[in-house]
Amino acid sequence: MTKTLDLGLQLVDRQLLDSEDRRCGNVDDLALEGGPGERLEVVAILSGPGAWRRRAGLIGRFAAWIGGGRVVRIPWEEVANVSAHVKLRKRAEELGLGRGDDRLRPFIQKIPGAER
């Protein structure tokens, strides 16, 4: 990917889609690398309630606590492209994303008509 991105506007807070277009979280934060004088590089996307701690002070910490505080680190190599959404190369399960939905699913499936 060579096109220019405004990280704050065009990457952070966007929807993550896995390789099968399943919605599996948001870009909650970024991991950047590069010392003084060096090129700054995005090395990973951080997704999950734990990343909210640094984004909204006390309320962010409270929200992170309610959400369970987990953060998933998605290496930048796993990003297929960035457009209106951030598309990933692998399935959500392989990246550790969308776990909340996967955990709830068996309970929902016990109710008749769950596949409708």
Partner 1 sequence: MKIFQIALGILAAIGGFVDIGDLVFNVSAGATFGYQLLWVIVVGVVGIIVYSEMCGRVATVSGKAVFDAVRERLGFRTGLAALVSAQVVNLMTLTAEIGGVAICLQLLSGLPYRWLIVIAGIVLAVIVWTTSFDWIERIFGYGGLCLLVFAVAAVKLHPAWGAVGHGFVPHVPTQSPLLYAYFAIGLLGAAMTPYEVYFYSSGAIEEQWGPKDLGLNKANAMIGYGLGGFLSFALMIVGGALFLGKGIEPEFLGSIALGAEVPLGQIGLLLALVGIVFAVGGAAIDTLFSGAYNLAQFLGWEWGRYRSNSGAPRFTVTWLVLLVLGLGLVMTGVDPVQLTEYAVIFSAVALPLTYIPILLVANDRSYMREYVNGRLANVLGLFYLVVIVIVALTAVPLLILTNAGQN
Binding-site member from 30, 42, 63, 71 for partner 1 (CB under 8 A):
63
Residue 1 touching partner 1 (CB under 8 A): no
Least Å from the CB of residue 2 to partner 1: 15
Q: Are 64 and 49 in contact (CB under 8 A)?
A: yes
Tell me: does residue 105 bind partner 1 (CB under 8 A).
Answer: yes
- Stretch of 12-20, 37-45, 71-79 lying at the interface with partner 1 (CB under 8 A): 12-20
> Can you tell me which of 19, 22, 70, 91 binds partner 1, judged by CB under 8 A?
22
DSSP, collapsed to helix, strand or coil, labels residue 100 as helix
**CA separation for the pair 56, 108 (Å, rounded):** 33
Question: Which helix (H) or strand (E) covers residue 29, if one does?
Answer: strand 29-33
